[in-house]
């Protein structure tokens, strides 16, 4: 698998607060990469910073985002504008407020085509709009509807249709189904995965709902306090999460399949950016915290073939213990 | 369509109520027009003249209030608003039709200019927050906080007394006859500059502030972020996505200000002795000219109603959420 998007050591600051710390992630062609974490973990900030959509006072002090050999962070606004939506489209929470309330959905789709495909004639663009709506299963006469005339699920489908208008390489989905009920949620995600198979794009799927990620993504990166704390194939995370925070997240949601488990949740609340705990940011809430956790931040190191974990419980960190750092969980 | 019809019915009822109030108000005031006329002429009227005045004003026979009301409506529908005392014996309708175009031309046009200019500046100021446009706002706000008559008097003293560039009063140069000639139109424009500019200067700040603040709110909305992610041009995002949503509250404010054109012209036209409706009302109040005042109030009422109707239609066009049917 070849990488389509490589984020290297990306940091994001809001004023003097660091919201994302040196995150490195790779999105491979045709893959669904899940980004999980609580509110404020930096997952959306990371996605917006990587696509240069961060609003001031947010800024990127260091890092690279490589797309097809170009660093997105050093492109000019003009070069970037050509790339936007053509190569990287974003599915926002369309059910809420991502569609302009005073313009018909057809015009909003047409806006994309008119900007990026100036050679298309008006009837061609209209035909493409109808094609896109039928792709996501919306009656084509809805093209002239306004967002308030559509249900939440339909608005989200319109958002997806719009994202696919230019057949992008990458689709970033930021909490795409959070405001929808569970049935519609699954319909839409299922549809999205089928479309991915036919059209062959890669997906970055951002959500706090790790059970959805386990089901729909290939690989999952779990973020806490602006850092990736664990990254592994979805099945491995589900089967044996290594980081205590990943384990906590998994036990916060009911399992979709398999035996019943007790829902436990994670005690405490996410860290405040203004007063990050020293050492590992998770240690005040961690059930297996040790002395070293409050002193030094563990690096994100490979554990086994396809997994990376940032935790002192993992032996590879060279902790001088007799037990050779066997996981205590 | 049913929505528009319902609105139209609502406006008809409001119109009826306003006209009825307009009929009742002068009749609740003490005295009658003939008494006022006699006072005005300082008692130099003999009894015959007084009797003929009573007949002229239709006050010679004791009619019931209901009969008067019916007569009033009949006269109104014929366009007969009675005779003005101030400009006796010119009919009120003629006085109004002579002065209304001046007011609409001056205050109407400048209100529209101030709205368009202020809104456009507000769009840019809100879009490029922290740019030099922001430092313009305290200046315009300061200008709009100066009482209008004071601003007008300063403008006159500077631009027509100290530096005699522009005429200080009137609607056109004395000695010209109103007609469609280049000379007359030029003179009208020249006379409109000072009052027009002062109106714009004193009212533009409100539009800038309101629009800027709405722009700031709207640019934080998700759909503006989506528009940026879509790679649309800055122009398209600024106007079709941000400003289009931000302008909605300003539209109702604009409609209200259109309604107050006629009433609000009073101060402008007094300061600049402009031959519009406000100046006529000013003269009418001074002379206790009830028929004239009634006529002016009627025009003001109609103006507010028409402006509201325009706001309704404008909202229907700009905000699809207000359209009732699919």
The residue ranges of DSSP E strands in chain A, in sequence order, are 3-14, 17-28, 32-36, 58-67, 70-71, 88-91, 170-174, 202-207, 219-224, 227-233, 301-303, 307-309
Burial of residue A61, with CB atoms counted within 10 A of its CB: 0-12 exposed, 13-18 middle, 19 or more buried: exposed
List, in order, residues 6 or more apart from A226 with CB less than 8 Å away: A12, A18, A19, A20, A21, A23, A41, A42, A45, A273, A281
A250 is a domain residue? yes
Q: How many domains are there within chain A?
A: 2
Mean pLDDT throughout A169-175? 91
Contact B236 A115 (CB under 8 A): yes
Give the distance, in angstroms, between the CA of residue A183 and the centroid of all CA atoms in the same chain. 21
Asked whether residue A93 is domain-assigned, the answer is: no
Q: Which of A44, A98, A163 to mutate to test the interface with B (most CBs of B within 10 A)?
A: A98
Q: Which of A19-33, A137-151, B31-45, B310-324 has the lowest mean pLDDT?
A: B31-45
> A28 and A133, same structural domain?
no
Helix and strand counts by DSSP (H, E) for chain A: 9, 12
B231–chain A nearest CA distance, Å: 5
- Residues in chain B with CB shorter than 8 Å from the CB of A111 are 227, 230, 232, 236, 240
Same domain? For A145 and A182 the reply is no
Q: How far apart are CA B309 and CA B307, in angstroms?
A: 5
Residues B189, A176: Cα–Cα separation, whole Å: 59
A66 and A144 part of one domain = no
Which of A118, A142, A160 marks a domain boundary? Answer: A160
What is the structure's pLDDT at B257?
Answer: 86
- Give the per-residue pLDDT at A319: 45
Query: Is residue A173 located within the same domain as residue A141?
Result: no
What does the pLDDT read at residue B184?
Answer: 87
Closest CA to B171 of B302, B276, B46: B276
Residues of B in contact with A112 (CB under 8 A): 230-232
Domain spans, chain B: 31-80, 93-322
- Shortest Cα distance, chain A CAs vs residue B220, angstroms: 9
* Mean of pLDDT over chain B: 85
Please return the burial class of B193, using the count of CB atoms within 10 Å of its CB with bins 0-12, 13-18 and 19+.
middle
> Where in the sequence is the domain holding A133, given as residue range(s)?
101-160
**Which chain B residues are Cβ-neighbours of A89 within 8 angstroms?**
229
Q: How far is the C-alpha of B33 from the C-alpha of B26, rounded, in Å? A: 10
**Closest by CA position to A216, among listed A1, A4, A36:** A36
The answer to whether the CB atoms of A82 and B231 lie below 8 A apart is yes
Are residues A227 and A137 part of one domain? Answer: no
Cβ-count burial B268-306 (b if 16+ within 10 Å, e if not):
bbbbbebbbbbbbbbbbeebbbbbbbbbbbbbbbebbbe
**What are the chain A neighbours of B232 within 8 Å (beta carbons)?**
111-112, 115
If asked whether residues A75 and A174 sit together in one domain, one would say: yes
Extended beta strands in B53-209, E state: none
Render pLDDT for B269-325 as a digit per residue (tens, 0 to 9).
888 888 888 888 888 887 777 788 888 888 888 888 888 888 888 888 888 887 765
My answer on whether A46 and A13 are in the same domain is yes
* Threshold 0.90, pTM exceeds: no
CB atoms within 10 A of CB B324: 11
Topology (CATH) of B93-322: MetI-like fold (1.10.3720)
Q: Work out the pLDDT band at B143, boundaries 50, 70, 90.
A: confident
The residue among B131, B217, B231 with the most chain A CBs within 10 A of its CB, best to mutate, is B231
Last residue of a domain, one of A126, A160, A194: A160
What is the distance between the alpha carbons of residues B296 and A279, in angstroms, rounded to a whole number?
78
**Which pLDDT score is estimated for A178?**
79
A302/A177 same-domain check: yes
Domain shared by A149 and A195, yes or no: no
Give the three-class secondary structure for B75. helix
Q: Are A139 and A180 members of one domain?
A: no
Over residues B201-218, the pLDDT tens digits come to 988 999 999 999 999 999
Same domain membership, residue A189 and residue A251? yes
Residue A125 and residue A209 share a domain: no
pLDDT at B171: 81
């Amino acid at each position: 698998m070849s990488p389509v998007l490589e984020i290297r050591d990306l940091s994001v600051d809001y004023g003097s607060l660091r919201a994302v710390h040196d995150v490195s992630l790779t999105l491979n062609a045709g893959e669904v990469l899940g980004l999980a974490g609580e509110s404020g973990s930096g997952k959306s900030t990371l996605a917006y910073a990587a696509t240069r959509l961060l609003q001031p006072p947010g800024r990127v002090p260091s890092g690279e985002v490589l797309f097809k050999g170009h660093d997105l962070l050093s492109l000019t606004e003009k070069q970037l504008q050509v790339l936007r939506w053509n190569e990287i489209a974003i599915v926002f929470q369309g059910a809420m407020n991502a569609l302009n309330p005073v313009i018909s959905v057809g015009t909003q789709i047409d806006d994309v085509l008119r900007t990026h495909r100036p050679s298309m004639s008006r009837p061609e663009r209209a035909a493409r709009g109808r094609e896109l709506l039928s792709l996501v299963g919306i009656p084509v006469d809805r093209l002239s509807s306004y967002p308030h005339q559509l249900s939440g699920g339909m608005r989200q489908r319109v958002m997806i249709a719009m994202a696919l208008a230019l057949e992008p390489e990458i689709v970033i989905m930021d909490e795409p189904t959070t405001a929808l009920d569970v049935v519609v949620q699954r319909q839409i995600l299922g549809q999205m995965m089928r479309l991915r198979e036919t059209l062959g794009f890669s997906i970055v799927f951002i959500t706090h709902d790790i059970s959805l990620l386990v089901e729909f993504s290939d690989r999952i990166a779990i973020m806490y306090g602006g850092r990736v704390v664990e990254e592994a194939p979805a099945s491995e995370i589900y089967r044996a999460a290594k980081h205590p925070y990943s384990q906590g997240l998994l036990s916060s949601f009911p399992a979709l399949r398999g035996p019943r488990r007790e829902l436990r949740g994670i005690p405490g609340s996410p860290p405040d950016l203004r007063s990050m705990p020293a050492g590992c940011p998770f240690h005040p809430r961690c059930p297996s915290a040790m002395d070293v956790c409050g002193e030094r931040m563990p690096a994100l190191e490979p554990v086994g073939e396809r997994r990376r974990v940032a935790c002192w419980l993992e032996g590879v960190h060279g902790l001088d213990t007799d037990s050779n750092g066997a996981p205590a969980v | 369509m049913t929505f528009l019809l319902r609105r139209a019915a609502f406006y008809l009822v409001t119109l009826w109520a306003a006209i009825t109030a307009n009929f009742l108000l002068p009749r609740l005031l003490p005295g009658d027009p003939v008494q006022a006329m006699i006072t005005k002429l300082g008692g130099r009227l003999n009894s015959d003249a007084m009797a003929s005045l009573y007949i002229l004003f239709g006050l010679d026979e004791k009619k019931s209030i209901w009969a008067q009301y019916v007569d009033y409506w009949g006269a109104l529908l014929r366009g007969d608003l009675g005779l003005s005392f101030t400009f006796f014996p010119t009919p009120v309708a003629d006085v109004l039709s002579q002065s209304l175009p001046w007011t609409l031309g001056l205050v109407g046009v400048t209100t529209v200019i101030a709205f368009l200019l202020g809104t456009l500046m507000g769009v840019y100021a809100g879009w490029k927050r922290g740019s030099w446009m922001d430092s313009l706002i305290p200046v315009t706000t300061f200008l709009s906080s100066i009482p209008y008559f004071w601003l007008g008097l300063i403008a006159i003293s500077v631009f027509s007394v100290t530096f005699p560039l522009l005429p200080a009063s009137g609607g056109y140069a004395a000695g010209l006859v109103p007609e469609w000639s280049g000379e007359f139109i030029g003179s009208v424009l020249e006379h409109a500059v000072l009052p027009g500019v002062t109106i714009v200067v004193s009212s533009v700040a409100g539009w800038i502030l309101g629009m800027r603040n709405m722009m700031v709110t709207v640019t934080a909305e998700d759909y503006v972020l989506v528009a940026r992610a879509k790679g649309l041009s800055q122009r398209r995002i600024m106007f079709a996505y941000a400003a289009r949503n931000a302008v909605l509250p300003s539209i109702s404010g604009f409609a209200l200000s259109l309604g107050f054109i006629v009433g609000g012209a009073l101060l402008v036209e007094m300061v600049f002795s402009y031959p519009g409706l406000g100046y006529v009302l000013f003269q009418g109040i001074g002379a206790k000219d009830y028929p004239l005042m009634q006529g002016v109030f009627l025009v003001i009422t109609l103006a507010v109603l028409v402006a509201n109707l325009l706001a309704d239609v404008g909202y229907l066009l700009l905000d699809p959420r207000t359209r009732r049917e699919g």
